[in-house]
Amino acid sequence: MGENSSHAVSRHPPSTERREGVVIEHDVNLKPYNTFGLPATARRLVRIREELDVRRVVDHPELGRAPKFVLGGGSNLVLTKDVDAVVLKMEIQGLSVEEREDCWIVEAGAGVPWHEAVAWSLAQGVPGLENLALIPGTVGAAPVQNIGAYGIELKDRLESVDVVDLTTGRRVMLPASVCRFGYRDSVFKQTGYGGLAGKSVITKVRLRCPKPWQPQLGYLDLERKMAETGIAAPDARQVFEWVCEIRSAKLPDPARIGNAGSFFKNPVVSAEQCRDIIARDPHIVHYPMADGSFKLAAGWLIDACGWKGKSVGGAAVYEKQALVLVNRGEARGAEVVTLARAIQESVYGRFGIRLEPEPVVV
């Protein structure tokens, strides 16, 4: 899952220089820039506030040849050591909407916070993103991870993205059809043939919200909200508010307790595997998939192994939701990795299922 590190502490005071039209910040503390609040230092950091900034970095005589590390909201990141690659801190803003006959197209800069884009769209009278409310991170990171919640994934709403090649500086618009979306996966995470991990950076995202709007309510938590409130036909604003309430009750606010949201992917197993597990553990939470396989609730598996509330150093399993690992104050990345590995081994030992982490470990 990553290399354990020695203490990640800046050896020099932060400094800034301008060279070849690029403002380079040196020895930047990354603790405020990752939602886990883990200590690490960026040797060199460049803030990307417009697409042209990427090309300036690519054309730079020193930075152009150096490895790059793209940083959005830092909500899907476990830092275990200092970052020697040039950190591109994505801060491109901008939101706009275009109405078409069959849909609305919402366009957003890669540095816009994802939840801000969802709330802004609703305020413009554009429904369709409400199930994805309150997911942390930036718009530019959303396609990389193919974020998803309450029955909708990013791939269901993506029209296209603008990406800039980190070798040539050339911009290309990629339609959703070439993004190789999978469960918490995309071409932007893949390193093999045709993969774009480390090769490009997303600068702009276009989201397609179809007409007529249809609520997506086929999820247990939303069905409970309908039953509790007696609202059988909620509008998009009501679904948005429900999703915010559900997420707030389950997941800690990173501004108060450092975390990276759901730490493990929900594992997908065959129907036969699911039957075997149900025979041993009848209460396991599972969801049927369109292809006949079943998705198991990773949080339930972790909780069943007795991990809720347990800790390793400053890293702990959240008391209210076993799927979330948290920073109790002064955790280091190595402690998060150690805790995650222990959970993986425990779940594999009991259920024969290998949990995969969602965050990127650096």
Catalytic residues: 184, 262, 358
Q: Are 25 and 89 a contacting pair, CB within 8 Å? A: no
**Measured distance CA(286)–CA(110) in Å, rounded:** 34
Q: Are 7 and 28 a contacting pair, CB within 8 Å? A: no
Residue 253 phi/psi, 5° resolution? -70, 120
**Measured distance CA(150)–CA(137) in Å, rounded:** 17
Which positions ≥6 away from 227 have C-beta within 8 Å?
none
Helix (H, G, I), strand (E, B) or coil at 103: strand
Residue 326 phi/psi, 5° resolution? -130, 160
Containing 272, the helix (H) or strand (E) segment is helix 271-280
Q: How are the residues of the chain apportioned to helix, strand and coil, as percentages rounded to the nearest 5?
A: 25, 30, 45
Q: Is 208 exposed, middle or buried (0-12, 13-18, 19+ CB in 10 A)?
A: middle
Q: Are 121 and 128 a contacting pair, CB within 8 Å? A: yes
Closest CA to 344 of 284, 263, 270: 263
**Measured distance CA(144)–CA(179) in Å, rounded:** 9
